[in-house]
Amino acid sequence: MRQCYASSHKKFLFRLELPVSRAVSCGRRVALGCGVQAKENRAQQHKSRRLMRRKLVSSKTGLKAMLGSAMVVLSACAMTGAALAQDAEASAERTIFDGVFTQEQADRGAGVFSQNCAVCHGNAARGGSDAPGLVGHTLNNKYADQPLQTYFHIMQTTMPLGRGNSLPPQTYADIMAHILSLHGAPAGEEELPFDEEGLSAIQIVRAPQ
Ligand code: HEC
């Protein structure tokens, strides 16, 4: 039943000179098509396929229904295509090595870092006896494969130690730009954002060898 409908549907598409190969490759087409057929009169299914086709084509309403279902099918395919494109985009998200901050921003962050953070974490953010390193091993291992948002959130809500959220969000983004720069990530054209969505779209990955 599924196959019968699919093959006759294919012929409709041929007749309408629609891109059959694209429609055929779309999984949803068959599912939708069978749904439409399920509504058809059972008795009609027993008539020969040839008779049924002639009847459909000759009746105006039949042709309309055909066109209508072809449109639904095609738009469903277009939607599937859009969803696939979106998936591809999501998996091709940026990493911290894709120039996610500007040099100017990192320079701003360097000033704040030396005043508020270096006393514990060291000027190069390599850590000391009182505080962990923020670059190198920490990013390459502890936070590898996590969104930058995770690391940013910890920094913003807990640092400087005992005074989380005491600096403006923009300043935390500037400090993060400086930390990434110390880690060896290159500067780019756009500033590092401080909103959750923007930071979630940037992935921490191991430094390239
Ligand atoms: C008084 C010392 C001190 C100061 C000042 C300080 N930190 Fe920290 N920081 C620590 C300690 C201690 C930890 C470890 C806390 C823990 O593991 O619970 C830490 C942890 C962190 C972490 C998480 C590291 C990890 O491995 O998860 C980040 C990021 C960080 N600090 C950034 C900053 C930044 C940015 C500043 C300045 C705005 C700052 N810290 C100021 C002592 C300090």
pLDDT at 41: 41
- Assess whether pLDDT exceeds 90 at residue 38: no
Whether 86 and 103 share a structural domain: no
Q: Are residues 51 and 145 in the same domain?
A: no
No. of H helices and E strands in the chain?
12, 2
For 199, counting Cβ atoms within 10 Å of its Cβ (0-12 exposed, 13-18 middle, 19+ buried), the class is: buried
Query: Residue 25 pLDDT > 90, yes or no?
Result: no
137 and 192 co-located in one domain: yes
Q: Cα–Cα distances in Å, from 51 out to 64, 161, 164?
A: 18, 81, 77
Number of domains in the chain: 2
Bridge partner residues of 202 (DSSP): 94
Domain that holds residue 38: 2-92
Q: Round to whole Å and give the CA distance between 145 and 203.
A: 6
Closest ligand 1 atom to 119 CA: 5
Query: Do 85 and 108 lie in a common domain?
Result: no
Over 90: is that where the pLDDT of 86 sits? no
SS3 content of the chain, % helix, strand, coil (to 5): 65, 0, 35
Same domain, 143 and 66: no
Q: Report which DSSP code applies to 191.
A: P
Confidence of residue 23 (pLDDT cuts 50, 70, 90): very low
The pLDDT value recorded for residue 199 is 98
Domain match, 35 and 64 both: yes
Q: Whose CA is nearest to atom 29 of ligand 1?
A: 155
- Predicted TM-score (pTM) of this structure: 0.66
Query: Ligand 1 centre from 152 Cα, in Å?
Result: 11
Using the mean position of ligand 1's atoms as its centre, give its distance from the Cα of residue 125 in Å.
10
Give per-residue pLDDT as tens, 41-70. 443 444 444 444 444 444 555 445 554 555
Q: To the nearest whole number, what is the mean pLDDT of the chain?
A: 74
Output the CA 202–ligand 1 centroid distance in Å: 21
Rounded to 5°, the CA angle 42-48-51 comes to 105
**Residues 80 and 165 occupy one common structural domain:** no
Cα 185 versus chain centre, distance = 23
CATH code for the domain of 132: 1.10.760.10
Q: What tokens does 42 get?
A: 């059972």
Q: Which ligand 1 atom is the nearest neighbour of the CA of 160? A: 41
- Mutation probe of ligand 1 site: the residue of 155, 163, 167 with most atoms within 8 A of C-beta: 155
Looking at 13-156, which runs of residues are DSSP E strands?
94-95
pLDDT band at 130 (very low <50, low <70, confident <90, very high): confident
Distance 136 CA to ligand 1 centre (A): 15
